[in-house]
């Protein structure tokens, strides 16, 4: 049996798959919040979010014949993303988001003789960009708890840089008693990601395949002297069952 065509190799190269509900979100609020850029635990109530993509802008070009797409020198790396929060009874997350949102247009007025002391939604005074931008970190976690220093096993980490809330949605009230949620749109300048580089380890079953192959090789040596007997038959039966599983999973 070829060792690169066994059920164990299939198991080794295809795990349980990444799951979209295994994620954590951390918010690093602007330094003007007085938190010193520390992560806030508000992400625990994020119901849904997304991992943004990236695209290279192209333009049509041809010297002769059919056109081809060529990069035009720009990369679409920023934009907006939506996150939906489940509200607790104190609306803590909404309070923080609304305060963050108001930082954008509530700068202090420093001009002499200016009657207004601080911007508001009626008469906005926009703050400096650096005063209201923060960072959002999204971790996508493994189901087997392997990889990374975190106990949950972080497989992929996204960071949205220079972000701030641009709007948050209205909320409906109803007598049906369902959980209240609100959706926030965040603008961000660019994003980065980091993949966990830990090497995938073989499971106990994978190791068992190697042991079986080794024993079969040893039994072949014994067969030269006519001493394989019952051991050889038992190992051959195990190998046959492995081949059947391999065929079921499309490997043989």
| CATH level 3 topology of 16-55+71-195 | Pnp Oxidase; Chain A (2.30.110)
What phi and psi, each to the nearest 5 degrees, are found at residue 185? -100, 125
pLDDT score recorded for residue 181: 94
With beta carbons less than 8 A apart as the criterion, state whether 120 and 135 touch. no
| Domain residue spans of the chain | 16-55+71-195, 202-248
User: Using H for helix, E for strand and C for coil, what is the string for the chain?
Assistant: CCHHHCHHHHHHHCCCCCCCCCEEEEEECCHHHCCCCCEEHHHHHEEECCCCCCEEEEEEECCCCCCEEEEEEEEECCEEEEEEEECCCCCHHHHHHHHHHHHCCECECCCCCCCCCECCCCCCECCCHHHHCEEEEEEEECCCCCCCCCCCCEEEEEEEEEEEEEEECCCCCCCCCCCCEEEEEEEECEEEEEECCCCCCCCHHHHHHHHHHHHHHHHHHHHCCCCCHHHHHHHHHHHHHHHHHHHHCCCC
- CB burial of 141-166 (b: ≥16 within 10 Å; e: otherwise) equals bbeeeebbeeebbbbbbbbbbbbbbe
pLDDT score recorded for residue 108: 84
Q: Please list the ranges in the chain whose pLDDT falls under 50.
A: 1, 148, 150-151, 199, 202-207, 221, 224-225, 245, 247-252
Residues 9-59 pLDDT 10s: 666 666 677 888 889 999 999 987 775 556 777 788 999 999 999 899 999
pLDDT score recorded for residue 136: 95
pLDDT score recorded for residue 168: 92
pLDDT score recorded for residue 142: 83
pLDDT score recorded for residue 83: 96
With beta carbons less than 8 A apart as the criterion, state whether 83 and 25 touch. yes
Evaluated on CA atoms 232, 234, 237, 242, the torsion sign reads: negative
pLDDT score recorded for residue 148: 47
With beta carbons less than 8 A apart as the criterion, state whether 192 and 159 touch. yes
What phi and psi, each to the nearest 5 degrees, are found at residue 227? -120, 15
pLDDT score recorded for residue 229: 57
What does pTM read for this prediction? 0.69
Residues 195-205 pLDDT 10s: 886 645 544 44
């Amino acid at each position: 049996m070829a060792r690169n065509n066994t059920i164990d190799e299939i198991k080794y190269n295809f795990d349980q798959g990444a799951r979209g509900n295994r994620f954590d979100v951390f918010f690093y609020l602007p330094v003007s919040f007085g938190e010193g850029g520390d992560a806030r635990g508000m992400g625990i109530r994020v119901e849904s979010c997304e991992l943004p993509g990236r695209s290279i802008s192209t333009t049509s070009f041809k010297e002769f014949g059919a056109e081809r797409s060529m990069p035009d020198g720009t990369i679409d790396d920023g934009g907006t993303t939506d996150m939906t929060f489940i509200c607790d009874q104190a609306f803590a997350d909404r309070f923080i988001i609304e305060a963050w949102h108001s930082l954008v247009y509530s700068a202090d007025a420093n001009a002499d003789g200016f009657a207004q002391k601080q911007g508001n939604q009626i008469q906005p005074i926009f703050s400096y960009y650096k005063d209201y931008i923060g960072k959002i970190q999204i971790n996508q976690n493994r189901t087997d708890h392997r990889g990374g220093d975190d106990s949950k096993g972080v497989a992929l980490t996204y960071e949205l840089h220079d972000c701030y809330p641009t709007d948050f949605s209205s909320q409906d009230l109803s007598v049906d008693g369902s959980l209240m949620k609100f959706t926030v749109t965040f603008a961000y300048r660019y994003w980065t990601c980091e993949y966990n580089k830990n090497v995938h380890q073989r499971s106990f079953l994978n190791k068992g395949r190697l042991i079986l192959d080794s024993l079969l090789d040893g039994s072949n040596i014994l067969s030269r002297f006519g001493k394989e007997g019952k051991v050889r038959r038992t190992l051959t039966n195990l190998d046959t069952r492995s081949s059947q599983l391999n065929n079921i999973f499309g490997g043989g």
